[in-house]
Amino acid sequence: MPWVDDGRRTGEIDRLETLPRALDPERMSDVLAGRARARMGPGFEIAALDVTVHRRHGNRCVVCYRVRGRPLDGERAPELRLIGKVLPPGVGEQIHARMRALWQRGFAHDSADGIGIPEPLAYIEELCMLLQEDVGGVSVRNLVQRFPDERHFRTAARALAKLHRCPLPQTRARGVNELLLRCHPRHPFLGLAFPSLAPVVDDIVGRARALASRLAPVPMTPVHGDFHLGQVHIDGDRAWLVDFDALGFGDPASDLGNILVFLTDKVRRNPTIGPMVQVFREEYEQRAGTRPWARVPLYEALTHVRRACKLIRLQESGWREKVHAMVERARTAIAAAETQCAAAPGPERGRS
């Protein structure tokens, strides 16, 4: 089902100026014709093109293309499914380059461990579109909603550990300040919307920055930047990591802090998942060869702050009460971070 989070303020200019062209089947048939033949064979001709918006944000739109060919020699009509991600100008090319780097370093179709990424096919500059294959499968998030199985948690942990161990060329590492920039709107808006929360949020942010400055260095790794159970798709014995808009370098504990906030929410609603979360932790630790758990609460605190900011933006039912709950969880997490990092041995602490 399509999912929309426009994220724009009233009167704000849409940054996706090329989107109308990306949603036009006639135009996109011309754009995709050559690329479809390259994948399906020189005799492939587009008979029909179905265009569907899968997800719409203020600064990106994910479009599904179902390319149906003409039947050849009485055979069933061939079909190709592609994903196009329309982004603001100057953004998609860098994401495409990152995905190509992952693809070339162990995440291609022939990966021995069965964990890959969608093949990045092209960056189409005139559309500001990142074009990639549609891997299909079912997200771990949806699988867990249907029937929780520890195998799915293990797969998610293996995929994340593989990313953290991938030998990508290092770029500038992100710290607390860069992670706070991912709040939309920025965290000071929490205090503007709820004046009583202003000193609490300022205290959390200040303590997070102070803690990060005190921690000893740890190796920076590739980080997903928005890792949760929806970012891993499974089909049989194959799995794919998806959505690399926020891929970069940083403390691997930042990805773990993000996913564990979501997993804790699931345990709160369904306590039977608790042992499976422990399975996730154990599988990650075994595959990654590290124990970064003392640093994780720092990033859990930042994730709670970011989610509180998102609640302000969306203003869905009950958002005011939820903002207060998120900020309180952030305060609890930063206190836990200070305690755990103070108690942890040097190599397990690390700097964000």
Mean pLDDT, the chain, whole residue set? 92
Q: How many other C-beta atoms can be found within 10 angstroms of the C-beta atom of residue 224? A: 26
Residue 243 confidence (pLDDT) above 60: yes
The answer regarding whether domain 3-133 maps to CATH 3.30.200 reads yes
Which tokens in the block code for residue 350? 């690390």
Residue 8 confidence (pLDDT) above 70: no
User: Which pLDDT score, from 0 to 100, does residue 191 have?
Assistant: 96
Give the strand order in the sheet containing 129-133.
3-5, 46-57, 61-69, 79-86, 129-133, 120-124
- Listed residue (20, 270, 230) closest to 140, CA to CA: 230
Domain 138-348, architecture per CATH: Alpha-Beta Complex (3.90)
Residue 247 confidence (pLDDT) above 80: yes
User: Which pLDDT score, from 0 to 100, does residue 73 have?
Assistant: 72
| Domains 3-133 and 138-348 agree in fold | no
pLDDT band per the 50, 70, 90 thresholds, residue 235 = very high
Residue with tokens 């520890």: 150
**Domain limits, the chain:** 3-133, 138-348
Least confident of 68-72, 133-137, 146-150, 344-348: 344-348
Task: Summarize the confidence of residues 155-159 as an average pLDDT.
Answer: 98
Q: Are 123 and 131 in contact (CB under 8 A)?
A: yes
Task: Summarize the confidence of residues 35-63 as an average pLDDT.
Answer: 93
- Chain segment 172-219, per-residue pLDDT in tens: 999 999 999 999 999 999 999 999 999 999 999 999 999 999 998 899
Q: Are 346 and 216 in contact (CB under 8 A)?
A: yes
Least confident of 78-87, 324-333, 341-350: 341-350
Residue 6 confidence (pLDDT) above 60: no
